[in-house]
């Protein structure tokens, strides 16, 4: 039992270290961009599954939404519409503030992307196909359509940003 527990603890510590190293590297990248005078306008963290486009805030459903929320949600709506029209995916993609649409979660990447180092106005966690039938094990025949939907969604999102909030 002690040996098994040691392996579990070792795995957990290794996983936490990897997560910390990855988070530190991502933040360092955005710090370097800022130092070079670059502006991050869009930040997307891709996940599976649930067919959701989640905007800030994740940490609290009661928190006042950001002043930029109207634009964030309009851009997310454009993204969802494009993703839904690409392949008429069952159930469709829906969008909204993360904690109000899904659940509260501290340390979420969409909150980080908006309120921390990247400071991107348009920041989302996008949950790809499907809504639970296959979960994390998406059948091979749905991978390409999921990519097509994602591509069309990003194009629609960028079109919104360029046409409505480009400075």
Residue 49 near residue 131 (C-beta atoms within 8 A) = yes
CATH architecture classification, 39-164: 3-Layer(aba) Sandwich (3.40)
* Per-residue confidence (pLDDT) for residue 89, from 0 to 100: 84
Q: Is residue 32 pLDDT above 60, yes or no?
A: yes
Q: Encode pLDDT of 51-81 as tens digits.
A: 999 999 999 999 999 999 999 999 999 999 9
* Per-residue confidence (pLDDT) for residue 4, from 0 to 100: 43
Mean pLDDT of the chain: 87
Q: Encode pLDDT of 126-155 as tens digits.
A: 999 988 889 888 899 999 999 999 999 999
Dist. CA 74–CA 80, nearest whole Å: 10
* Per-residue confidence (pLDDT) for residue 19, from 0 to 100: 67
Cα angle 99-101-107, degrees, rounded to a multiple of 5: 30
Closest to 79 measured CA to CA, from 131, 142, 127, 112: 127
The contacts of residue 117 (CB under 8 Å, 6+ apart) are: 27, 30, 31, 34
Known active-site residue 127: yes
Q: Is residue 85 pLDDT above 60, yes or no?
A: yes
Active-site option among 2, 64, 104, 127 = 127
| Helix (H) or strand (E) segment spanning residue 24 | helix 2-35
- 51: number of Cβ within 10 Å: 24
CA of 8: how far to CAs of 2, 17, 18, 53, 152, in Å? 10, 14, 15, 34, 42
> Rounded to two decimals, what is the model's pTM?
0.86
Q: Spell out the domain ranges in the chain.
A: 1-38, 39-164
């Amino acid at each position: 039992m002690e040996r098994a527990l040691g392996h579990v603890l070792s795995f957990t510590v290794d996983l936490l270290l990897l997560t910390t190293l990855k988070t530190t590297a991502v933040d360092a990248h955005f710090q370097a961009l800022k130092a070079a005078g670059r502006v991050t306008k869009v930040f997307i963290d891709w996940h599976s599954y649930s067919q959701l486009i989640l905007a800030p805030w994740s940490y609290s459903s009661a928190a006042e939404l950001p002043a930029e929320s109207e634009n964030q949600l309009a851009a997310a709506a454009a993204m969802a519409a494009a993703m839904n029209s690409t392949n008429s995916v069952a159930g469709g993609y829906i969008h909204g503030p993360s904690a109000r649409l899904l659940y509260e979660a501290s340390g979420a990447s969409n909150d980080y992307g908006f309120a921390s180092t990247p400071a991107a106005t348009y920041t989302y966690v996008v949950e790809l196909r499907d809504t639970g039938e296959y979960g994390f094990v998406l059948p091979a025949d749905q991978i390409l359509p999921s990519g097509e939907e994602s591509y069309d969604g990003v194009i629609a999102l960028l079109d919104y940003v360029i046409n409505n909030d480009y400075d």
